[in-house]
Amino acid sequence: MTGQGKPGAIAGELIAVVVAVTDGEPRVLTIPGAGALPSGPFEPAHRSLQAGLRAWVERQTGHPLGYVEQLYTFADRDRDGGGDARVIAVSYLGLTREEPGAGPGEEGWRTWYDYFPWEDCRGGPPAVIEGVLKPRLRAWATSASAEQRRAREQRVAIAFSLDGAAWNEELTLQRYELLYEAGLVPEAAAAEPVPGRRMQGDHRRILATGIARLRAKIKYRPVVFELMPASFTLLQLQRSVEALAGLRVHKQNFRRLIEQQELVEETGASTPDTGGRPAKLFRFRPAVLIERAVAGTKLPLTRG
């Protein structure tokens, strides 16, 4: 209360959701075999939390994280065994490019839709939702008391857009939490879990947090940059955005918005390997980077 209390001794842990987009697929860096996000201790030698995170992610991937953003800090009792050792875990979202041969070989990049199949709506509504999630979530809602039932039904309806509303791609975390609460994921000791690769502990939850944050952010901050190569076509840029959002967007409107914001400029070159008419190559305008870092961007992903 007074700010003078003696804090109890605890340990610090850093967890990273490191994202790249390769060939139009959103990928996340994992520890191969372990089914876990990379994580490491926060050491007194680190200058700051972010410095600590950067240090060991760069050591592992071999190239620096451009954009780093704090996600969330946990210290829930049920994370650790319940013993005396409390751990404060600070999770981060980091963006990078998956360049071939940069790190020490054994990198575990994986499409994040392996973990959340229902989040990929680029080819229309995924069949899993209608076929598996919807009936099982309905059953879960119905099994509750009348009081709770309406609340559950409403939450399910909103999260999965069952009420006819447009799919809201930002609700990744809410959807995962619903599935967890309904006991439909292996992390919640589900007898018959729903499709989707599991992760150690609460790592899949952290990943969901990162996806949700990134999906929200690309709409108003120019963070796609960090995920793109030096030059690219407008369609490649669009595909990257679509990969992250898990949604298709109107091509012409996408170009209109990108161009009217003057985020990019032509390099002068063009690439013929698009299958049709060659596309002009673009690069991000360096001046805009500073400006937009603070001011914001727009992308044609409607907010519900």
Contact pick of 276, 286, 290, 294 for DNA (by CB under 7 A): 276
x/- track of binding to DNA for residues 203-242 (CB under 7 A): ------------------------------xxx-------
Please count the other Cβ atoms lying within 10 Å of the Cβ belonging to residue 108.
16
User: In 3-state terms, what secondary structure has residue 282?
Assistant: strand
Measured from the CB atom, the residue of 44 and 275 that comes closer to a second copy is 44
Determine the interface stretch with DNA among 39-47, 66-74, 92-100, 296-304 (rule: CB under 7 A). Answer: 296-304
- Which one of DNA, a second copy, none is in contact with 256 (Cβ closer than 5 to 8 A by kind)? DNA
By CB under 8 A, residue 174 contacts a second copy: yes
Task: Please tell me the total number of residues recorded for the chain in this structure.
Answer: 304
Q: How far apart are CA 175 and CA 136, in angstroms?
A: 13
Q: Does 84 bind a second copy (CB under 8 A)?
A: yes
Q: List, in sequence order, every residue forming a beta bridge with 239; answer none if it has no partner.
A: none
Q: Is 252 in the site for DNA (CB under 7 A)?
A: yes
Q: Which is nearer to DNA, 59 or 298 (CB)?
A: 298
Q: Please list, in sequence order, all residues whose beta carbon lies within 8 angstroms of the beta carbon of residue 278, skipping any fewer than 6 positions away.
A: 270, 271, 272
Q: How far is the CB of 247 from DNA (least distance, A)?
A: 10
Question: What's the distance, Cα to Cα, between the start and end of the chain in Å?
Answer: 41
Both tokens assigned to 203: 């790592």
Q: Are 96 and 66 in contact (CB under 8 A)?
A: yes
- And the tokens for 51? 């410095």
153-182 residues in contact with DNA (CB under 7 A) are none
Q: For residue 233, which phi and psi values (nearest 5 degrees)?
A: -90, 165
Residue 229's binding partner among DNA, a second copy, none (Cβ under 5 to 8 angstroms by kind) is: none
Q: In terms of C-beta density within 10 A (0-12 exposed, 13-18 middle, 19 or more buried), how is residue 89 classed?
A: buried
Q: Which of 60, 209, 238, 240 binds a second copy (CB under 8 A)?
A: 60
Residues in touch with DNA (CB under 7 A) = 233-235, 250-253, 255-257, 270, 272, 274-280, 298, 300-302
